[in-house]
Amino acid sequence: MKKNFILLTEKKWHLDLFNSLVDKNDDNWILINNKKDFNVDNLNNLKPNLIFIPHWSYIIPSTIYNNFECVVFHMTDLPYGRGGSPLQNLILRGVKKTKISALRVNKGMDTGNIYLKENLLLFGTAQEIFLRATDVILNMIEKIIKNNLRPKPQKGDVVEFKRRKPEDGNIENLTNIEKVYDYIRMLDADGYPNAFLKVGNLKFEFSRASIKNNKTIIADVKITEQ
């Protein structure tokens, strides 16, 4: 008997992930990419065996995670890095390699039990990293389903991250060229506010950065009047 699985995400680049899951598995796959469709009534009709969440910016209500098994993917080696903006916080700490943790959603912030973890390299722009992570998540989802993995409690010291705000992308006070490069690349993804600099009434927004010999940055810049 076929099982029903949901992929919940609002990111366009996860459409390829959904299509791969449909192509590679015989079960029924449903994509939910709109907040209004993610509600108890709809889920009761769909009767999902598991809900996989590679990216979702909204709070998942207890009426959902208490009644449906929700698996979220977090870009840190939990319990290290609980909280918001994991990619940006990792890059700012100089981390070059992390793990993606697949965990069950509960009432805490990234406190749920862990199904499995997989390695992820953090070079390149945020967009490139997210695309690389998509391939890893595909593999993780297949392992969870195939092996019927059950989550286990987190182990280790808890380190919490603070969610970053758009204004935190201001590079005005940075004096290190590598730090400027990291700011630009860690915010260079669809839907993210770019690193920026304000001069008078002008705003300079940076993307597509490359660094040469750790001394020179070449990047695209968008200039707007404020």
The CATH class given to the 4-161 domain equals alpha beta
**pLDDT average, residue stretch 48-61:** 94
Is 166-225 a CATH 3.10.25.20 domain?
Answer: yes
In the chain, the DSSP E strands lie at: 4-9, 28-32, 50-55, 70-74, 80-83, 97-104, 114-121, 159-161, 195-199, 202-212, 216-225
How does residue 43 score in pLDDT terms, banded at 50, 70 and 90? very high
Quote the CA–CA distance of 70 and 104 in Å, as a whole number: 6
**Per-domain boundaries in the chain:** 4-161, 166-225
Return the pLDDT at 123: 96
Return the pLDDT at 12: 87
**pLDDT average, residue stretch 160-182:** 95
Residue-averaged pLDDT of the chain: 95
Same fold, 4-161 and 166-225: no
How does residue 24 score in pLDDT terms, banded at 50, 70 and 90? confident
pTM above 0.75, yes or no: yes
